[in-house]
Amino acid sequence: MRTDDRSPVARHAFGGLMLLALVVLGAGIGLRDPWPPDEPRFALVARQMLERGQWLFPHRGHELYADKPPLLMWCEALMFALTHGWRGAFLLPSLLAGLGTLIVLYRTARRLWDARIGLYAAALLLATFQFVEVVRHAQIDPLLLFCITAGNAGILVHCLRGPDWRAFWLGCFAAGLGVVAKGVGVLALLMLLPYLWARRRGWPVTFAQRRRAAEDHGPAGPQADRVASPGDGWRWAAGALAFLLPILAWLAPMLIAALGSGDAERLAYVHDLLFHQTAERYADSWQHREPAWFFLRVMIVDWLPVSLLIPLLVPRWREDLRRHEARVLLPLAWWMLALVFFSLTPGKRELYILPAVPMVALAIAPHLDALLARRWLQRTAFVLAVLAGTAAVVAGAWAWLKHPHAAQRIAAGYELTDGGRALWWSVIAAGVPFLVAAAWLRPRRGVIALVAGMAAAWVIWPLATYPLLGASQSGRAIMARAEQRVGPDGEIGLVLWREELLLQARRPVAEFGFSRRAEDQLRDALAWQAQAPARRWILIDSDAMGRCVDPARAVSLGVANRNAWWLFDAAAVREACRPAAAGR
């Protein structure tokens, strides 16, 4: 049954879904500071952009930061300028990108099918563990996800529902914006490959062709395709210009400034960003090296519970392809192309495959009604809800009552008192909604019970744990202890530092490079300290203390993010390492 896109029911259903998404994805915003590994880095770079007015050449401390293009940092800086507070600002770009991705997916499925399928597609995405987990962190990937999904959507709508050149140009522009976000936004253009393949095979690609094929009980040939009619060459070329526009808007001023200045540091930044961090990193990655089958595990585990539906859909997708259903072919083919692209590089992270989730949801959505009608699927979802709730409640109660070694280690890592009792109560609280929903909705509505339990747990967990873990995770507690120890007139220098420490500093601090060797940082820090030994202190990671610092005379500040931090004055420096002694 087709749902009218303009009906109040369709509008209210979509509004309810977006309200739920806002609550789930936005829960906890304003309750914590940036957490490692990535959030403090991007927030620090964004803050320094605002402080220094340098938007083309991002800095981490006094070093240029060339690991990623600057789009996310620009967005975070803009959010801070609007909100005047980092706690509210740094997560907003991810939240808006997540909501935007849901809207784009809903509108795309609605254009290709109807509003009901659009709701299904957006709901499937929102129910995917990896989507919620990633969007609730201030990383580049939510922004990249939105750009690639918008790029895919524009191409899909134009090629399958068009001609709609405006949608195509917007899709190309979004793909270019994705390049400014992380470099791989160009992957959205791969959607054109299965489209061209389907056209060459004579599939009924456009809406008009599919309607004629249904009426004539046979495929309409490619000659009926209005998307590629004669004289449209300049329109396709305009798509290439739309793709290049955001890239050139960023790249041209940056290159002009770097080449015009002749500054060696800026020129090295350009080379590192455009070559070392892109092609060289893809071909021979020096981080996160994983086997070729790595993403198979990611898709099975991180895409739960939606990944459980994929094996059930294989026969239906096979039938769709046999019937030349391009609306299913293009999303599935793009998923496979993205999977191959990311599997070929030796460096892999779970986040890389995230942009494929909306396309998978788009291919599942038309068949969701038939799947939900199966009693065994409802019962399976019910069992999953019960198992999830029971596992959380039992694990939390066991950690609270029995204090096993693993629980003690976790509590110590977060510097929690009472053995982490509040954390284990949070685990129990996250599991209870699953059991309540299962008891209320029963097996015949098991899917709703599972989804309701997930939504409640997603809201409870950040509200309970962000205030509890924030001081340790963000480095705020370490910097507060350091500043209290040195007093109001003391100065602090950082050695082998993490971005969260510099971000949390409430006074000017000295730092001696981020990417330099620890011994080089320490040498320069000791020379800096020797210039004013009465008031200068060094905050250092325990791994960098070596033989130069006497731990008996240093002050332990505790552990944050698995790093032990120490503070010492000139009296803790061994004689052989003192700059004055070295100069004699």
Please give the full DSSP string across 12-66, using - where no structure is assigned.
HHHHHHHHHHHHHHHTTTTS----TTTHHHHHHHHHHHHHH---SS-EETTEE--
pTM metric for this prediction: 0.91
Dihedral (Cα; 163, 164, 170, 173), 10-degree rounding: 20
In the prediction, which pLDDT does 528 show? 95
**Residue among 192, 108, 118 at smallest CA distance from 146:** 108
In the prediction, which pLDDT does 584 show? 38
In the prediction, which pLDDT does 232 show? 77
**Residue among 325, 340, 362, 244 at smallest CA distance from 292:** 340
Half-sphere exposure of residue 65: CA atoms within 13 angstroms, side-chain side: 24
Strand partners, 64: 59
Query: For residue 353, what are the CA distances in angstroms to 362, 477, 512?
Result: 16, 35, 36
In the prediction, which pLDDT does 582 show? 43
Q: Which long-range contacts (CB under 8 A, 24 or more apart) does 422-425 make?
A: 422/464, 422/468, 423/399, 423/465, 423/468, 423/469, 424/396, 424/397, 424/399, 424/400, 425/396, 425/400, 425/464
In the prediction, which pLDDT does 439 show? 94
User: What residues in the chain have per-residue pLDDT under 70?
Assistant: 1-8, 10, 206-231, 280-287, 580-584
Q: Which helix (H) or strand (E) is 511 found in, with range? A: strand 510-511
In the prediction, which pLDDT does 317 show? 96
d(CA 264, CA 272): 12
* Interior angle at CA 502, CA 574 and CA 540, nearest 5: 20
In the prediction, which pLDDT does 99 show? 98
